[in-house]
């Protein structure tokens, strides 16, 4: 079974559009793009397009590639204080001279639609409600919508990044999975992934998950967005793995569109919790 992230995301965007229209509000998302990396610029454009599609207002703050950390922090403080802005997304990765930790720390936790702020990460660790990182949230939605059981399942996450691997593992654990986290230093990766009912690959290496690493019938979620010779490729060798997997996300058309749908959900939630309508 192919897990159609694109179709699911489109349906969720339609529901969000209807929800926003009925509430008569205009949530507002600010994106912050530093420098002119073409992939980052494309992702930001895709986010703005989704906003336009569903009635979220978006503003794009563009900063030159040679700004200092304090330039970025100053701009973020303005956005934090701006009552018209509900959500703030700082597109990552940032240029190397910028202190990414300080930037993430400066985004107001109430406006943190990526769920990267330590307060929101802490809420995730504690199992408290709060904004969840968009990619892991989108993956949980895929699993839920397709009825893929997490309770009691062995989920193997490949990758321990702060934006995907770690929050993914925590969300799977909160959903009662038994979770193993693997990464670049893991020995004999295949022997571990072979035991998985659910594999989530966020390793960032094109084609690294091969058929011999997958148990027949397993669910395979591919977070990879690797650009190889101008083509987008996932972490999973789709040709050989898809006949073995019980369910698999394609790249493109799988996790990526769900990341954006989750961002839209987080932006609406940020707007609603910032301005509680009178009952």
Instruction: Report the interface residues with ligand GUE, using CB under 6 A.
Output: 43, 46, 89-92, 114, 134, 225, 232, 251-253, 256-257, 259-260
Q: Does 159 show up as a binding residue in the annotation?
A: yes
Q: Does 161 show up as a binding residue in the annotation?
A: yes
Q: How many residues does the chain have?
A: 279
Question: Choosing from 4, 86, 112, 114, which is the catalytic residue?
Answer: 114
Shortest Å distance, C-beta 127 to ligand GUE: 22
Shortest Å distance, C-beta 157 to ligand GUE: 17
Q: Is 91 in the active site?
A: yes
**Paired sense of beta strands 247-248 and 219-222, if any:** parallel
Shortest Å distance, C-beta 34 to ligand GUE: 11
Shortest Å distance, C-beta 188 to ligand GUE: 29
CB nearer to ligand GUE: pick between 90 and 124? 90
Q: Is 176 in the active site?
A: no
CB nearer to ligand GUE: pick between 9 and 214? 9
Question: Residue with the closest Cβ to ligand GUE?
Answer: 256
Q: In the structure encoding, which two tokens stand for residue 76, read together?
A: 């973020």
Q: Is 99 in the active site?
A: no
Shortest Å distance, C-beta 265 to ligand GUE: 13
CB nearer to ligand GUE: pick between 34 and 89? 89
H, E, C per residue of the chain: CECCHHHHHHHHHHHHHHHHHHHCCCCEEEEEEECCCHHHHHHHHHHHHHHHHHCCEEEEEEECCCCCHHHHHHHHHHHHHCCCCCEEEECCCCCCCCCHHHHHHHCCHHHECCCCCHHHHHHHHHCCCCCCCHHHHHHHHHHHHCCCCCCCCEEEEECCCCCCHHHHHHHHHHCCCEEEEECCCCCCHHHHHCCCCEEEECCCCCCCECHHHCCCCCEEEECCCEEECCEEECCECHHHHCCCCCEECCCCCCHHHHHHHHHHHHHHHHHHHHCCCCC
- In angstroms, rounded to a whole number, what is the distance separating the alpha carbons of residues 159 and 181? 7
CB nearer to ligand GUE: pick between 163 and 197? 163
CB nearer to ligand GUE: pick between 88 and 199? 88
Q: Which residues have a catalytic role annotated?
A: 47, 91, 114
Known binding residues are 159-161, 225
Known binding residues for NADP(+) are 159-161, 225
């Amino acid at each position: 079974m192919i897990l159609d992230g694109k179709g699911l995301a489109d349906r969720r965007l339609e529901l969000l559009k209807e929800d926003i229209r009925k509430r008569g509000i205009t949530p507002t998302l600010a994106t912050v793009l530093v420098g002119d990396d073409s992939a980052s610029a494309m992702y930001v454009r895709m986010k703005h397009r989704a906003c336009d599609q569903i009635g979220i207002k978006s503003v794009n703050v563009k900063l030159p590639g040679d700004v200092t950390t304090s330039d970025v922090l100053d701009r973020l403080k303005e956005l934090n204080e701006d009552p018209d802005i509900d959500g703030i997304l700082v597109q990552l990765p940032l240029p190397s001279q910028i202190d990414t930790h300080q930037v993430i720390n400066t985004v107001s936790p109430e406006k943190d639609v990526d769920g990267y702020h330590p307060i929101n990460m802490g809420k995730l660790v504690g199992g408290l409600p709060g904004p969840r990182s968009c990619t892991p949230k989108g993956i949980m939605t895929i699993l839920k919508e397709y009825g893929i059981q997490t309770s009691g399942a062995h989920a193997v996450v490949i990758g321990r990044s702060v934006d995907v691997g770690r929050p993914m593992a925590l969300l799977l654990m909160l959903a009662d999975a038994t979770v193993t986290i693997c990464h670049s230093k893991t020995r004999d990766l295949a022997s571990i992934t072979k035991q998985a009912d659910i594999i989530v690959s966020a390793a960032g290496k094109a084609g690294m998950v091969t058929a011999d690493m997958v148990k027949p019938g397993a669910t395979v979620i591919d977070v990879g967005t690797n650009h190889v010779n101008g083509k987008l490729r996932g972490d999973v060798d789709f040709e050989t793995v898809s006949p073995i997997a019980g369910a698999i996300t394609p790249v493109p058309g799988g996790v990526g569109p769900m990341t954006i749908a989750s961002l839209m959900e987080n932006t609406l939630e940020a707007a609603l919790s910032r301005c509680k309508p009178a009952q």
